[in-house]
Amino acid sequence: MVLRSSVVLVALFGLFFYNMNEPKAVAKDKEALILQGLIQAIEYVHFTKKPLDDNFSKVVYKTYLERLDGQKRFLTQKDIDQLKDYELQIDNQVNALTFEFFNKSLPLMDNAVLKSEKYFKEIIDQPFNFNKGESIEYDPDKLDYVKNDDALKDQWKNILSYEIMANWVEKMESQAEKANKEGNKTDEELKADAIKEINKRYTDWFGRLAKLKRSDRLEAYFGCISNYYDPHTDYFSPKEKQDFDINMGGKLEGIGARLQTDGDFTKVSSVVVGGPAWKTKKLQDDDVILKVAQKGQDPVDITGMRVDDVVQLVRGKKGTVVILTVRKKDNSVVDIEIERDEVQLEDSKAKSVVLNMPGSIQNIGYINLPKFYSSFETDGGNSCAVDVAEEIRKLKDLNVNGIILDLRNNSGGSLSDVVDMSGLFIEEGPIVQVKGRETKPNVYTDKDKSVQYDGPLVIMVNQFSASASEIIAAAMQDYNRAIIVGSTSTFGKGTVQRFYDLDQLVSGMTEFKPLGNVKMTTQKFYRINGGSTQLRGVVPDIILPDIYHYIETGEKEYDNALEWTEIAPVPFKQNVVKLENKQKLIENSKSRIEQSKDFNLVLDYAKLAKANRDQTKYPLKLNDYRAMVDKKNEESKKYDKLAKNDIIGLDITNLEVDLAKINIDESNKAKNDEFIKDLKKDIYLEETLFIMRDMINLEKSFVIQQKKIAAAN
């Protein structure tokens, strides 16, 4: 969660450089001034205080080399040996505001890139042998730097052989699927096309690398220093900060996604709710974008491309189509077609429908909340807490038997709104604790004694539910007010970030400004039971398997993530609902999952996804590679129809009071139809309805409520 309003803390920084001890060195140029401001700001307010010591040096050294040459395609061990002496010296250089290690790395990398480009040009024009029985390892963590230049050239031969072969096989398979035989090319012609395409891809890549400036590398170096403290603390140049602020940080306005550079790659940092990318349900956080294509044109490989240049490729006129080739968490590579459009904020608002499964369960309210938006983000001035309260009111008017609150893929947002929203389901009481490095915990409390909804409540989450989503799930779990249903755990981001403008923190020195910003982790969230949501997330009461069931996701994947910690709990209780049969609900759901063909298929697919992710070595022999691809394709066919069929007996209806707004134009109607269409195929929603049914039938307080509702109806 990024908080932009930091007036109080910025005011405290007014005397920042005067109140602290005199720095060990005085900045004499812009680079040194940025480094001084960055380090002192982090030391002053970051949640964790870490010393500038040899461990700092080791981590920054490792991280910087990974970002400099993450795939180990340029530098040799001989190059690394020239940098090795600096591994334990970076802390001393930072204290002295000097850049010996960084300065040494630049000519080494420039020369390495020129050398690799020379090898590439020599190799690409030579015949390729696709009958070698060798293999290539693609996980850089499993690779050592090659010993010398001869080994580097051999490595480039293998890289180009593999990429051409993979491209060639893809072209042959694509052609085989087409019925038109007359226009088909021979295998040799397709191979020539593959060589031409790979040649252009790497030629463009080396061209982009040649344009990198010292400032580009320096920003990466500052980022490595910042990320030592945690993955969400980072340095933003003035241009990067400006891009971050566009449309609440939307770098790709045409599709609605936020991007960030990750070494030589461009990664999706978050998908904007309601935007074109979000509507596809295919592009996800942490997807790595490999290629960008305009529909009808050849794709452009964006490896090594500046994020600003990627933006230009992806942006475009409303109604035009862009195709992103992305690598997913399971290492699969897929093409995602997205029609560019404006991001409609209305799509991110809370909305509700009524669910019925005749003969099983009737009249269940369902509220979908894609994000925790706040009043300052919306045209109408509404907040998500106000909107959810209104959806509850409308559902209560229909005497629903229970409510499902769906927070899947909800990456969080407003802290005040999640506190208010949690209060809709309990009497007054604490919701979350927020603590800085040296401050006492600040307890955020619902002070409204009224209870808007006292009936059965189930909250749906998954591994992409983060921040505010985790706060309400944790609070309702601690209060034993609701059943939490979802994947093995939520995301695990239990921290607060703030932006600090280094220009405001540094007095004078206008000749060096602008200096940029530092986004810094300043606080942690803690549950009312004292445990943090950081790293571990919220473990649902009932776990439903998904395709990431065997893959570690979320905050746990990040280097230098803050650890899980615990503080004192605060007193809490609620007298709205007393859940006494949670274990029985868990057992019933587990039994259904074990007998479900769909969920067993999901678990099989999850194992396959894990196996694909773990496979990082690939054959360089054409026949072996084709056999591997054919096997993977055959295995994946088994799952083609997963979640493609409507749930038998599930009926979904809009609320009558919403129909006028839905039918106001064809666009709204189409969006609503798509929303309901997706819900009808949702096996997780189906199981959640069964859990709700058990909850209503087993819990005494709800049995009494159902009799009252039946009498009212």
Region 65-93: what's the mean pLDDT?
96
Q: Provide the 3-class DSSP secondary structure of residue 111.
A: helix
Structure tokens at 119: 């090898």
**Confidence (pLDDT) at 490:** 97
662 and 625, same domain (yes or no): yes
Q: Residue 521 in contact with residue 497, Cβ under 8 Å?
A: yes
Q: What are phi and psi of 532, to 5 degrees?
A: -80, 155
Distance in angstroms (rounded) separating the CA atoms of residues 618 and 628: 9
Region 115-144: what's the mean pLDDT?
94
Region 197-204: what's the mean pLDDT?
93
pTM here is 0.86
Q: Residue 467 in contact with residue 439, Cβ under 8 Å?
A: no
The last residue of a domain, from among 339, 365, 383: 339
Residue 309 has pLDDT above 90, yes or no: no
Phi-psi region of 107 (alpha: psi -120 to 50; beta: other; left: phi over 0): alpha
177 and 312, same domain (yes or no): no
Decide if 39 is inside a domain: no
| Close Cβ partners of 15 (under 8 Å, ≥ 6 residues apart) | none
The Cβ-side half-sphere exposure at 574, using a 13 Å CA radius, reads 30
| Cis peptide preceding 514, ω within 30 of 0 | yes
589 and 706, same domain (yes or no): yes
Confidence category of residue 670, pLDDT binned at 50, 70, 90: confident
Structure tokens at 698: 């087993």
138 and 205, same domain (yes or no): yes
268 and 399, same domain (yes or no): no
Decide if 479 is inside a domain: yes
**Confidence (pLDDT) at 155:** 96
Amino acid at 345: L
488, with CB counted inside 10 A (0-12, 13-18, 19+), is buried
Average pLDDT, the chain: 89
Question: Structural domain of residue 57, as residue ranges?
Answer: 51-227
Q: Please give the tally of structural domains in the chain.
A: 3
Amino acid at 673: D
Q: What is the CATH number of the domain that holds 582?
A: 3.90.226.10
Residue 285 has pLDDT above 60, yes or no: yes
429 and 326, same domain (yes or no): no
| Close Cβ partners of 374 (under 8 Å, ≥ 6 residues apart) | 383, 384, 413, 414, 416, 417
370 and 291, same domain (yes or no): no
Decide if 208 is inside a domain: yes
Q: Residue 244 in contact with residue 80, Cβ under 8 Å?
A: no
The CA-based angle 297-623-155, given to 5 degrees, is 75
Q: Residue 187 in contact with residue 171, Cβ under 8 Å?
A: no
309 and 367, same domain (yes or no): no
Q: Provide the 3-class DSSP secondary structure of residue 1.
A: coil
**Confidence (pLDDT) at 6:** 36
The last residue of a domain, from among 318, 339, 360: 339
Q: Map tokens 């809370």 to a residue.
A: 350
Amino acid at 195: I
Decide if 26 is inside a domain: no
Q: Each residue of 153-174: pLDDT tens digit?
A: 999 999 999 999 999 999 999 8
The last residue of a domain, from among 227, 260, 283: 227
Distance in angstroms (rounded) separating the CA atoms of residues 154 and 618: 16
Q: Residue 441 in contact with residue 375, Cβ under 8 Å?
A: no
Q: Residue 351 in contact with residue 368, Cβ under 8 Å?
A: yes
Helices (H), 439-559: 468-478, 502-505
**Confidence (pLDDT) at 27:** 76
Residue 245 has pLDDT above 60, yes or no: no
Q: Residue 618 in contact with residue 139, Cβ under 8 Å?
A: no
Strand partners, 501: 517
Residue 16 has pLDDT above 50, yes or no: no
311 and 365, same domain (yes or no): no
303 and 397, same domain (yes or no): no
Residue 616 has pLDDT above 60, yes or no: yes
Q: Each residue of 459-502: pLDDT tens digit?
A: 999 999 999 999 999 999 999 999 999 999 999 999 999 999 99
Decide if 31 is inside a domain: no
Q: Provide the 3-class DSSP secondary structure of residue 352.
A: strand
With CA atoms as reference, report the closest residue to 195 among 219, 179, 171.
171
Element (H, E) at 460: strand 457-461
Decide if 109 is inside a domain: yes
Confidence category of residue 611, pLDDT binned at 50, 70, 90: very high
Strand bridging mode 429-436 / 517-526 = antiparallel
Q: What is the dihedral of CA 617, 623, 626, 627, to 10 degrees?
A: -80
With CA atoms as reference, report the closest residue to 260 among 243, 277, 282, 279.
243
Decide if 408 is inside a domain: yes
438 and 334, same domain (yes or no): no
Distance in angstroms (rounded) separating the CA atoms of residues 220 and 214: 10
Sign of the Cα torsion 138, 139, 144, 149 reads: positive
**Confidence (pLDDT) at 297:** 84
Q: How far is CA 126 from CA 151, 157, 195, 201, in A?
A: 18, 10, 11, 17
292 and 403, same domain (yes or no): no
**Confidence (pLDDT) at 709:** 59
Q: How far is CA 567 from CA 62, 262, 378, 524, in A?
A: 33, 34, 35, 11
Decide if 400 is inside a domain: yes
- Kindly give the interhelix angle for 384-397 and 415-422, rounded to the nearest 10 degrees: 30
Distance in angstroms (rounded) separating the CA atoms of residues 584 and 590: 10
